[in-house]
Structure 1
């Protein structure tokens, strides 16, 4: 079926739900390590506490992608039922995460949250390919990235914003501050509201006549998954290698940026609980002073991390303008963007004061904007559109496998080759992104680099 070109606002409406998804991801990525540390997690165990998230994605996304390929309701469509289910579950998890009284409970909510985000996320990727003709797909993914950038920036600054509005940013040892609780509650509302907006403003194409995929049984699922992995085309494999090193870098940032930067840049590491008691004169304890300094530094780290969302938004605006008028060399854009992001990560080791983190995260944001658009645009031009949801889900393997490797010890092992300080993890993230950028040189398929269709 030939797809009609859509207007900017039609593409905006169909992508708007990603605002909520990104609120969930930014709050998760920017503040879960802070929650874990507040509840008593030590620095070495933080990546392992994140393990459930990528494991869930590895299982959920191919299944949801396959199911959405084979779903059709005249009222609800193909992808939209999964948006709604994921939004309800994600919003519930977001609300309850900061109220966790125990570390194991916070890790459990992270697992539920990430599973629910995955239910919503990949069908959104597939929807762009479903709705847009191939010549508009780069533009469609870039608009999606623009909305993601807005969500990242706003959500990353929420705890700082609500603190400045008068919500307390301190709490007793082992308790998450009220500012973080309020921020997560706002994120829960934005998640469900933005998804509902897309559901109510966007229609989907019905299955093509003669499409035999609708209603396939469970045995077809396992057969197609195995067959698709075995026969994965070379372009998808090469993009997978690029994704591997890209997402290793960003998982490193999400899990260790807070302890790394609060310690190295702000000189405010989280204090060990119980190291000092309130004196008999009624003065504030050494622990409370150090904890207040850490919580303030953690707010600042979250705000600086929001810069990468703002930077990705500006980068997406530039790409959106360019792709609306001209062809885009996706390979070249992605390569340069990843290398710049790698330089941004490495620069965090050398910044003389916190304010220079703005420049570091601005470079990281350029790579993030490209990661969220260019690989998917190249992939969508090199796979069968009738299997778009499942292939997007399988592509997720190259996102979650590096995160699993990082979580089970890969980050700790690699950064300790450079020294014991957590800031070395940011250097490893930078090296990983630069490797990812150089791997773009292996992409030779001109139809993927440009915007023409290729199924080989």
Structure 2
């Protein structure tokens, strides 16, 4: 039986190239949506609740799309139909977003844009696991990181480039988005559509029969003690009683928190946590009810079962992801307001100083993504020497130092130094956890587990959206620069948690490499 063959550089390039366009969409969103919200009248302390559309959309969309793509096969293959239609929807959303006439329209467009990007992006993560052998997966995810960095460099710098190189105006009357931002979104839409379609039409997926043969060969290798995917013995799906027990706990916790918010007049952002816990409890009770009436053969029930059957490695990575993405979300929400206020002394979105600072934030975002694009090539070699866990911990520590230094550096022209650490961490966050996870889940469920893994990106973002506004107003006296410092601390905690992750597949790769150096430094 034949295992997945190793792929050459250009085949890996083609299968990952779509991420260049996807990250252009994300980069434009991350660097400019807070600016658009403030332009349309949003206060700084309202930004987290407006941003909540993005993580909520990912929470709902990614596991569903992952489950569906696991079971899809058609003329375009298994994952590529989602690339294709998601790219078309995202392109349309990018064109509409900067033309939003009111704040509520912009908030709604953020929801639509993020849903479309998630439809496109989620199958790309499973795509690497489908197409590459275990020893090449760090290389595959690192290639995605390179394209993510390159796309985000272009997206983040586009408004600045259009202003300084092509004389597009970066100021506009109150309530209107500047031409530089509007044109950047139009160009980004074209780049996104073109690059995703390149992957769709240049990459052939393995057929279901080929995938079954590959997985059987890898399972036989594991049984022989050679390492590889750490799928482990199959476990029984949880019964209705377990869903009822945990569902009631979550329901009580959510109802209690929501009641406390109403009773004591707590901040409205906390409703996200209270209502979220309540809904999760209700979903578990619904799963239990379906099991009891014998109607558990559906996508919802299967996803709930898979959630409870997560491998140990995936649970450990969840802790790492929580602190990593909490830190990133604090930067994405508050970088513009922190730099414009702390470094430029400007708080009026219509002022020239504010827009100069906002443009510089775009350049800084381009800088950390450029660093990430370059660092992506070094991560496989670093992982070969230190192990995947060690490499990720080192990168996260550098990211924590970078975020923390925003508070200490007062000259905005020197903030690119901070972005070096952030960029190294970003490159690893986008690649190493996925490489570790792909070795810990069964191949037939690669899509759904990649989707469920997104929970541990979304939940910290929901937490950030719920509490950061409260902290900035109450604890930090309205100074959002301290939200970035808090992000630096969260990144350091993520680095510490990484050291406790089990990575048997990574250890097996290193053992085989020591025994046969000809395997190279691909994983």
Task: Confirm or deny a common fold (TM above 0.5).
Answer: yes
Q: Which segment is superposed worse, 418-427 or 15-24?
A: 418-427
Confirm whether residue 207 of structure 1 aligns to residue 192 of structure 2. no
Aligned residue number for residue 503 of structure 2: 445
Give 1:373's aligned residue.
431
CA deviation vs aligned residue, 1:331-379 (integer Å, no higher than 9, x gap): 0011111111011001001112011110101110110000000000000
Q: 2:441 aligns with which of 383, 390, 395?
A: 383
Q: CA deviation at 1:219?
A: 3.2
Deviation by residue 1:31-58 (Cα, 9 ceiling, x = unmatched): 1000000111000100100111111100
What SS class does the counterpart of residue 205 from structure 2 fall into? Answer: coil
> 1:406 is matched with which residue?
464
Who is 2:320 aligned against? 242
Deviations 1:359-418 (A, max 9, x none): 101110110000000000000000000100000000000000111121123453278434
Confirm or deny: 8 A CA contact 2:372 2:423 kept in the other structure: yes
Question: Does residue 351 of the first structure (1) align with residue 409 of the second (2)?
Answer: yes
Aligned pair 1:302/2:351, yes or no? no
Q: CA deviation at 1:267?
A: 1.6
Is 1:219 the counterpart of 2:279? The answer is: no
User: Alpha carbons of 1:376 and 1:450: their partners in 2 closer, same or farther (altered >3 Å)?
Assistant: farther
Deviations 1:429-453 (A, max 9, x none): 1111111111012113332456489
Aligned to 1:26: 27
Are 2:379 and 2:391, in contact at CA under 8 Å, matched by a contact in 1?
Answer: no
In 2, the alpha carbon distance for the partners of 1:69 and 1:302 equals: 37
Map 1:85-104 to 2 at 5 A: 85-104=85-104
C-alpha distance after superposition, 1:107-165 (max 9, x if no partner): 01100000011001110010000000111111111111111111111111000001121
Matches within 5 A, 1:298-337: 298-320=358-380, 326=384, 329-337=387-395
| Residues 254-307 of structure 1: CA deviation (Å, up to 9, x unaligned) | 111101111101222225xxxxxxxxxxxxxxxxxx612211211111111111
Q: Which structure shows the bigger proportion of residues in helix conformation?
A: 2
- Is contact 1:240–1:398 with CA below 8 Å preserved after alignment? yes
Shift of residue 322 of structure 1?
Answer: 6.0
- Measure, in 2, the Cα distance between the counterparts of 1:147 and 1:409: 32
Gaps of 5+ in 2: 213-294, 512-523
Query: Which residue pairs with 1:395 in the alignment?
Result: 453
Q: Does the Cα contact within 8 Å between 2:45 and 2:473 map onto a contact in 1?
A: no
Q: Is the 8 A contact 1:78 1:204 kept in 2?
A: yes
In 1, the alpha carbon distance for the partners of 2:451 and 2:177 equals 34
User: Are residues 439 and 82 of structure 1, via their aligned partners in 2, closer, same or farther at CA, if it must alter by over 3 Å?
Assistant: same
Indicate the residue corresponding to 1:364 in structure 2: 422
What is the distance in 2 between the residues matched to 1:95 and 1:70? 32
Q: Distance in 2 between matches of 1:318 and 1:207?
A: 34
Structure 1 CA distance for aligned equivalents of residues 199 and 211 of structure 2: 28
The equivalent of 2:353 in structure 1 is 293
* 8 A Cα contact 1:153 1:306, kept in partner: yes
Is the contact between residue 330 and residue 450 of structure 1 (CA under 8 Å) also seen in structure 2? no
The answer on whether the counterparts of 2:86 and 2:116 sit within 8 Å (CA) in structure 1 is yes
Rounded Cα–Cα distance in structure 2 between residues aligned with 1:412 and 1:363: 27
In the other structure, the counterpart of 2:153 is 153
Taking structure 1 as reference, are residues 415 and 437 closer, same or farther at Cα in structure 2, changes over 3 Å only?
farther
- What SS does the aligned partner of 1:169 have? coil
Do the aligned residues in 2 keep the contact of 1:135 with 1:452 (CA within 8 Å)?
no
Distance (Å, rounded) in 2 between the aligned partners of 1:245 and 1:320? 23
Residues 218/186 of structure 1: CA separation in 2 closer, same or farther (3 Å cut): farther
What's the secondary structure of 1:208's corresponding residue? helix
Following the alignment from structure 1 to structure 2, what is the Cα–Cα distance between the partners of residues 389 and 203?
17
How many angstroms apart in 2 are the aligned matches of 1:32 and 1:121?
19
Residue number in structure 1 paired with 2:232: none
The residue aligned with 1:115 is 115
Query: How far apart are the structure 2 equivalents of 1:144 and 1:357?
Result: 26
Deviations 1:300-327 (A, max 9, x none): 111111111011111112235667xx56
Distance 1:400 1:51 in 2: 10
Change (3 A) 1:414 1:259: closer
Segments of structure 1 that go 5 or more residues without pairing to the other structure are 212-216, 272-289
CA drift of 1:210 comes to: 10
Match of 2:306 in 1: 228
CA shift for structure 1 position 193: 0.3
1:17 aligns with 2:18: yes
1:222 shift after superposition: 2.1
Q: Which residue does the alignment assign to 1:251?
A: 329
Deviations 1:81-123 (A, max 9, x none): 0001110111111111111110000001100000011001110
Residues in 2 aligned to 1:334 and 1:415: alpha-carbon distance in whole angstroms: 33
Aligned to 1:349, the other structure's residue is in SS state helix
TM-score for both structures, normalised by structure 1: 0.90
Runs of 4+ residues deviating >6 angstroms: none
Over 3 Å counting, the alpha-carbon distance change for 1:451 and 1:174 in structure 2 is farther
